[in-house]
């Protein structure tokens, strides 16, 4: 029996509640409005779900032997574990870390931590040990819940991890009756009162920052997003993204549970396996990122050809895609990185539209989103109701509202405010708003390439011109040279070939490189001369990305500069 189950599962079974009509979670709204602890609202909501549809599945694990947790079981186990955490930490506010791939147990720990007024610290299992160590030193968790796969990693970290509780059977450090004391040593100051989650930024261009997200931030997001997406108890979501990312945690986990829906966890990102699950389980929605949608698009196109070299007609492709996704599927929800127009157009054409939004960890995370009733191609939708978005004189997107986190926790312990003295959070992204209030993101300030002429070039504009090039799977425009020198920066382009191009190519490596370079330059011919790359570098490995598909530009720039130095 796992630590989570042994702590959260009482010996006496909970009596199944009565069945009735559709769930209307008034109690959580009422509790929040009355000013009581939002954590208790989590328990109230789960208990209401348990009364209305106790045997409905809430969380389902698809990898390995399929297991599931019903709503009555979820309420029971969360309440038990929350009670145990409250008894251990009666004052609340203690950091509780989770080092595990997504699973029902991950969700139970998260809900119990929030319900007990402690602070959830979701950790990225893909991090290297040095990065994990640096992360844990900032928060010094009282307890680290770990999966079996991550157990040895947790024990070996040169950082305070507190008491390690394994969520699986193989390594059981503690039970409810015999829990060891939390690790001793210096403690980092507790997070602010009302902090629910300590999340970390993606760190694509700098060291990840620890962001303190409050109960109020989360509740605002849940209410706003469930209205935008109109989630229902009959919905079934497929969870592909890691739950440490705020997009998945809010849109793919908290919002479905608020609405009484089902969440199915699948660790494989192979498009064909995901399609099999989507069709067989009657999945209605998938929260994902642009990089995975691009893979899915290629898989659907390849399967529709069925060995033929001719491109199938639009009707044939639509019919194939609808059969592959199943009759119940409605749409994708996408965020975390820019979505290519041709990918969005493809899924719109085949009847599986992509609802694209925009946000950052500091905004809890969603700032804006399209909806099925309010959609604008190429935009990231309108800002959430009750929030403000502005564009500075320099073109930077500014955000203000109840979704903005209060502060960062720094390495040294002190805090730093997320927003300025007027409450505006400076996103670091460039964009504009059209006359109808739709927001467009055009680039990132830190990614801007400054040429010797003084002209600024946004790499995203260059990359967008290569979206429809059949030979190029992915690309990244970067700055080569020294921006502080008289020559300024020069534009470089890193490209990766598509598998179809490589399979059809019977040329040497040098010929492949030259052919890809020619394809890239032809695709960019319509750009202004100063925006065209001076060099095109071919890479035989996928581009480095974060868990949500954002390009790690700094890492790729170092690699590209090393390649150019080797060739010179």
More confident of the two residues 189 and 298: 298
The DSSP secondary structure of 411-451, one letter per residue, reads TTS-EEESS-TTS-EEEEEEEEE-TTS-EEEEEEGGG-EEB
- φ, ψ (nearest 5 deg) of residue 203: 70, 40
Mean pLDDT of 204-210: 70
Query: What's residue 360's pLDDT?
Result: 95
Mean pLDDT on 336-341: 88
Q: Please, what are the domains in the chain?
A: 3-29+71-190 (3.40.50.12780), 448-567 (3.30.300.30)
How many C-alpha atoms does 140 have within 13 Å on its Cβ side? 14
Tell me which range, 5-19, 61-75, 476-490, is most confidently predicted by mean pLDDT. 61-75
Residue 129 has a pLDDT of: 87
**What integer pLDDT is reported at residue 173 of this predicted model?**
41
Mean pLDDT of 393-420: 88
Tell me: the pLDDT tens digits for 98-115? 999 999 999 999 999 999
Asked if pLDDT for residue 180 goes beyond 50, the answer is no
* pLDDT for residue 385: 95
Antiparallel, parallel or unpaired: β 143-146 and 163-166: parallel
CA distance 362 to 416: 12
Task: For residue 399, give every residue at least 6 positions away whose Cβ sits within 8 Å of its Cβ, in sequence order, or none.
Answer: 363, 367, 383, 387, 388, 389, 424, 425, 427
> In the predicted model, what is the mean pLDDT of residues 529-540?
93
pLDDT at position 412 over 70: no
pLDDT band of 362, cuts 50, 70, 90:
very high
> Nearest-CA neighbor of 255 among 242, 241, 282, 237?
237
The mean pLDDT value for 240-268 works out to 95
Mean pLDDT of 124-130: 88
Residue 2, Cβ neighbours under 10 Å: how many?
21
Question: Distances from the Cα of 73 to the Cαs of 47, 231, 243, 436, in angstroms?
Answer: 10, 22, 21, 46
Percent of the chain with pLDDT over 90: 60
Of 137, 101, 100, 113, whose CA–CA distance to 411 is shortest?
137
Q: Given pLDDT bands bounded at 50, 70 and 90, which one contains residue 128?
A: confident
pLDDT band at 46 (very low <50, low <70, confident <90, very high): confident
pLDDT band (50, 70, 90) for residue 4? low
More confident residue, 546 or 100: 100
Whether 36 has a pLDDT exceeding 60, the answer reads no
- Residue 172 predicted with pLDDT over 50: no
- Assess whether pLDDT exceeds 70 at residue 186: no
Name residue 8's beta-bridge partners: none
HSE toward the beta carbon, residue 489, CA cutoff 13 A: 24
User: What percent of the chain clears pLDDT 70, i.e. is strictly above it?
Assistant: 84
pLDDT at 217 over 50: yes
pLDDT digits (tens, 9 = 90+) for 9-30: 443 333 333 333 333 444 444 4
Averaged pLDDT for residues 61-65: 87
Residue 316 has pLDDT above 60, yes or no: yes
- Position 175 confidence tier, pLDDT thresholds 50, 70, 90: very low
Mean predicted lDDT score pLDDT of the chain:
85
pTM tops 0.75: yes
């Amino acid at each position: 029996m796992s630590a989570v189950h042994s702590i959260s599962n009482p010996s006496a079974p909970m009596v199944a509640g009565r069945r009735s009509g559709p769930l209307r979670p008034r109690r959580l709204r009422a509790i929040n409005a009355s000013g009581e602890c939002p954590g208790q609202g989590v328990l109230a909501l789960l208990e209401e779900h348990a009364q209305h549809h106790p045997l409905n599945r809430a969380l389902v694990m698809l990898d390995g032997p399929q297991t599931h947790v019903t709503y009555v079981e979820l309420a029971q186990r969360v309440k038990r574990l929350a009670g145990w955490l409250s008894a251990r930490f009666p004052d609340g506010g203690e950091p509780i870390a989770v080092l595990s791939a997504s699973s029902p147990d991950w969700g139970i720990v998260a809900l119990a931590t929030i319900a007990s007024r402690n602070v959830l610290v979701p950790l990225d299992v893909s991090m290297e040990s040095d990065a994990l160590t640096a992360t844990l030193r900032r928060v010094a968790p009282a307890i680290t819940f770990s999966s079996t796969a991550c157990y040895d990693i947790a024990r070996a970290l040169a950082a305070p991890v507190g008491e390690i509780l394994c969520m699986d059977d193989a390594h059981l450090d503690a039970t409810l009756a015999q829990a060891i004391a939390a690790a001793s040593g210096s403690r980092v100051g507790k997070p602010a009162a009302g902090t629910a989650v300590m999340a970390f930024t993606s760190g694509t261009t700098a060291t990840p920052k620890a962001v303190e997200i409050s109960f109020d931030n989360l509740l605002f997001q849940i209410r706003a997003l469930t209205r935008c997406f109109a989630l229902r108890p009959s919905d079934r979501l497929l969870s592909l993204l890691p739950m440490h990312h705020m997009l998945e945690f809010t849109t793919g986990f908290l919002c479905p549970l608020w609405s009484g829906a089902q969440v199915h966890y699948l660790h494989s990102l192979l498009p064909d396996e995901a399609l099999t699950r989507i069709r067989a389980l009657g999945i209605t929605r998938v929260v994902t990122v642009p990089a995975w949608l691009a893979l899915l698009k290629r898989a659907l196109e390849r399967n529709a050809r069925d060995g033929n070299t001719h491109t199938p007609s639009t009707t044939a492709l639509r019919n194939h895609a609808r059969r592959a996704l199943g009759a119940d599927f409605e749409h994708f929800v996408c965020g975390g990185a820019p979505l290519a127009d041709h990918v969005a157009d493809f899924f719109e054409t085949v009847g599986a539209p992509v609802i694209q939004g925009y946000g950052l960890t500091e905004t809890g995370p969603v700032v804006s989103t399209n909806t099925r009733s309010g959609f604008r191609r190429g935009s990231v939708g309108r800002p959430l109701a009750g929030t403000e978005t502005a564009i500075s004189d320099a073109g930077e997107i500014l955000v203000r509202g109840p979704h903005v986190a209060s502060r960062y926790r720094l390495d040294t312990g002190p805090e730093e405010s997320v927003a300025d003295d007027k409450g505006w959070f400076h996103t670091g992204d460039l964009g504009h708003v059209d006359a109808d209030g739709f927001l467009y993101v055009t680039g990132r300030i830190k990614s801007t390439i400054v040429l010797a002429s003084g002209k600024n070039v946004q790499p995203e504009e260059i990359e967008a011109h290569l979206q429809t090039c059949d030979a190029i799977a992915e690309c990244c425009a970067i700055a080569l040279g020294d921006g502080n020198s008289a020559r300024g920066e020069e534009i470089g382009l890193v490209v990766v070939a598509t598998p179809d191009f490589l399979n059809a190519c019977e040329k040497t490596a040098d010929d492949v490189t030259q052919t890809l370079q020619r394809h890239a330059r032809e695709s960019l011919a319509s750009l202004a001369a100063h925006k065209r790359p001076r060099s095109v570098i071919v890479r035989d490995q996928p581009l480095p990305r974060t868990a949500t598909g954002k390009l790690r530009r700094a890492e790729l720039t170092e690699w590209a500069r090393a390649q150019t130095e080797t060739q010179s």
